Amino acid sequence: MQPQSKLSGIFTPNLVPYDSKGEINEPELRRYIDWLIEKGVHGLYPNGSTGEFTRFTPEERRRIVAIIADQTKGRVPILAGAAEANVRETIKACEYYHGLGIRAVAIVAPFYYKLSPASVYAYFKEIGDNTPIDVTLYNIPMFASPIDVPTIQRLSEECERIVAIKDSSGDIPNMIRMIQAVRPNRPEFSFLTGWDAALMPLLLSGADGGTNASSGVVPELTRKLYDMTLSGQLDEARRIQYDLLTLFDTMIYSAEFPEGFRAAVELRGFSMGEGRQPITPEQQTDISTLSRTLQCMLSEHGFTNEPIGGCTTGITEDLSNSDVSQIVQRVVAELNRRKLI
């Protein structure tokens, strides 16, 4: 097997624009890809959670990756989500993406059925032994069976094709344990965080980069945060991390995921269309309110103009007490679900 470059930097989880019929808007997707690359992201990550991979058919998932590969033309590496409903179909997806020249695939642990660590190991071992393309393990315990540290260590030592892990748990100590367990025997193994709020601390702890949803909205900020953290400009990096955290929390907790991110990308000049998850009129009103809040946030960095009527002195004043209460309740509920409080 020819050695390839280590996965590192910011890989953007790609949102997919829809047309008026709810189908993939290919011209707008191509325009969005060019924009992300021009803004400095290190790589692209289609068919992830932010890209709503479960809301597409297997054929649509392949088409999305094919479009992105064609538009990218090798300018940046692509890490393609390849998780299908079972191991056979997942290996077929690996073979297809290998044929497109994709750098690596990301595969979430089995979802729907909660499996034991032994079954999670067996699933990835089957893939690792039969894939023609490099594999990134995708740990997202809130949606799928968790991949524990002993399993990651065992797979990294037994499967040469398993070259990285993307961890979206937001559990900083646990990811440090992964690095500590794997890196001595696999120094080329990559560690990517999928939790934007933890990007700077994990880079400082030895992670190699991130697959961060906010990079699809403010690629300039995530790239700057990455560069400044690695170059030791920590005071400025910390300020950016704080700003990114505020934006990330607002997008993820103020609407059904990933509608907050879709609303924010609209504000950057892209027509995202209506998502495939039906929403109520009340939810649509909430998204409209959220869009105004996001526009005020983005305007502070010069990414958009202020909304009509302007912004009040401080973004939080755009939110009513009930809005703030709802955001706090969602944050606390999410932290409880992830057993972080």
Name the binding residues for pyruvate: 50
Q: How many CA atoms lie within 13 A of 226 on its CB side?
A: 25
Q: Which of 168, 177, 176, 169 is nearest to 106 (CA)?
A: 168
Nearest 5°: the CA angle 80, 83, 86 is 155
- Write b or e for each residue in 153-187: b if 16 or more Cβ atoms lie within 10 A of its Cβ, otherwise e: bbbbeebebbbbbbbbbbbbeebbebbebbeeebe
Residue 226 bears catalytic tag:
no
**Annotated active-site residue in 121, 123, 166, 253:** 166
Nearest 5°: the CA angle 65, 20, 44 is 25
* Cα(255)–Cα(273) distance, integer angstroms: 16
Q: Which of 265, 304, 290 is nearest to 16 (CA)?
A: 265
**Cα-trace Rg, the chain:** 19
273: left (phi over 0), alpha (psi -120 to 50) or beta: left
Q: Which residues are annotated as a binding site?
A: 50
Residue 125 bears catalytic tag:
no
Residue 231 Cα distances to 38, 105, 179, 321, angstroms: 22, 29, 21, 40
**Annotated active-site residue in 18, 32, 138, 226:** 138
- What is the torsional sign of CA 249, 228, 202, 341? negative
Active site residues: 138, 166
